[in-house]
Structure 1
Amino acid sequence: MILPFVIIIVFVVVMIFARRNAATRDCRWREDRTGDKGSLRKYNCIACGAEAYRSEGPPDRCLKGLDAPRL
């Protein structure tokens, strides 16, 4: 009688932990010092091809859809 509720609770907890890092799961950020701009370090994602400039380390999420606007 209590077993179905335990199974549901375990399933929900597993799903919460599985989605916790979904935003950056596929990204692999690598520092590219040849493209630095002053104190900003350039980072390239080898999985999706995104580029980012940051001063405090690699991004913590995927930036694939955030391209520069086209004029």
Structure 2
Amino acid sequence: MLYLLIALVVFGAVLVWNRRHGMTRNCRWREDRAGSKGALIKYNCVTCGAEAFRSTGKPDTCLSRLNKPGL
């Protein structure tokens, strides 16, 4: 019974961690100082090619889906 409880706790922890970090796993953001505009810093994703402007810190989600048109 104890092993089942431990397995459920570990499984839950893995799900929570994956949900928090799953959207940025493939993105690698690089700062582009030449493209910055005032207080907004431009970031380019090396992996998917997305561009983002942020005033604080690197983007925390993958924006590649925003660049692709839907059906």
Report the TM-score when normalising by structure 2.
0.75
Superposition deviation, residue 59 in structure 1: 0.8
Partner of 2:38: 38
Q: Find the aligned partners of 2:15 and 2:65 in 1 and give their Cα distance.
A: 25
Q: Find the aligned partners of 2:17 and 2:39 in 1 and give their Cα distance.
A: 35
Which has the larger Rg?
Answer: 1
The percentage of counterpart residues that share the same residue type is 54
Report the TM-score when normalising by structure 1.
0.75
Partner of 2:23: 23
Deviations 1:16-66 (A, max 9, x none): 223321111111110011111222111000011100111112111111122
Task: Report SS of the residue matched to 1:65.
Answer: helix
Alignment: residue pair count: 69
Superposition deviation, residue 10 in structure 1: 2.2
Could you list the runs of 5+ residues in structure 1 that have no partner in the other structure? none
Choose between structure 1 and 2: higher helix proportion: 2
